[in-house]
Structure 1
Amino acid sequence: MAITRYVEPGRVALVNYGKNVHKLGVIVDILDENRVLLDGPTTGVAREVYPLKRLYLTGLKVSILRGARTKTLSKALEKDNISEKWEKTSKAKKHALKMKRTSLNDYDRFVVSNLKRRRAFELRRKAK
């Protein structure tokens, strides 16, 4: 398979570890083969150095130059409607579902469990 998600300035990345976990940022500059400068003016990610191991590269890209300022980056994010495009991706939908499941209380988990059992019972009955 060909690699389609390159580490490049303007690539939108999801932070998968640390204090900004599950927040989007944009790669502004590449420092070396393991670290990048990440900034997320609209999502609350401060401009700082991140190791690539803590980032999930998305298929989204913003048209900015290397080392762009925060103000320039926020204008580019608004222009390209990155937040709307992100909400349409399968990764964002899976993340939203996961967050919804983690916020359930005991009773809600019990209800979901019963609904799963009923659905399985109906599928087995229809299969016969």
Structure 2
Amino acid sequence: MPFQRFVETGRIAVVSDGSNKGKLVGIVDVIDQTRVLIDGPCSNVPRNQVRLNQLHLTKFRIKFPYTTPTRVARKAWNDSKVDKKWAETVWAKKVAAKEKRAQLTDFDCFKLRRARSRRI
């Protein structure tokens, strides 16, 4: 099966490491084989370089020229409704469920186990 997600200008990715972990960013420019310039205009991620092994590429891509300013990237991001499309994916739903489960207290976990055992 051929590759579907390429490292290219406009590709949307999720940061997997560092202080911006879990946030959506757009690739603005490819610096070399291991680094890219990213910008997260709507997720409050400043424009900076990041290693490719710190990113998870998504299937979404927006159209803008490489090394575009943040205002142009923000307009393309909003026009293509990336946040809405991302929220509808199974990947985003799994991340949200994992965060919700991490927020449970001991008593909530007990109630969940109890309800699950009664169901079976």
TM-score by length of 2: 0.97
- In structure 1, the partner of 2:14 is 14
Please give the per-residue CA displacement for 1:37-79, whole angstroms capped at 9, x wherever unaligned: 0100110111000101110000011111111110000000110
DSSP-derived class of the 1:107 partner:
helix
Which TM-score applies when normalising by structure 1? 0.91
Partner residue, 1:54: 54
Deviation at 1:2, TM superposition (A): 1.1
Q: What residue in structure 2 maps to residue 70 of structure 1?
A: 70
Partner of 2:111: 111
SS of equivalent to 1:5: coil
Deviation at 1:80, TM superposition (A): 0.4
In the TM superposition, what is the alpha-carbon distance from 1:5 to its structure 2 partner?
Answer: 0.3
- Identical columns (%): 39
The aligned length equals 120
Residue 115 of structure 1 deviates from its aligned partner by 1.8
Corresponding position of 1:90: 90
Q: Distance in 2 between matches of 1:34 and 1:115?
A: 48
Q: Structure 1: which 5+ residue stretches go unaligned? A: 122-128
The equivalent of 1:36 in structure 2 is 36
4+ aligned runs moved over 2 Å, structure 1: none
User: Post-superposition shift, 1:113?
Assistant: 1.1
TM-fit CA distance, 1:16: 0.8
Question: Which structure: larger Rg?
Answer: 1
Which structure 2 residue ranges, 5 or more long, are not aligned? none
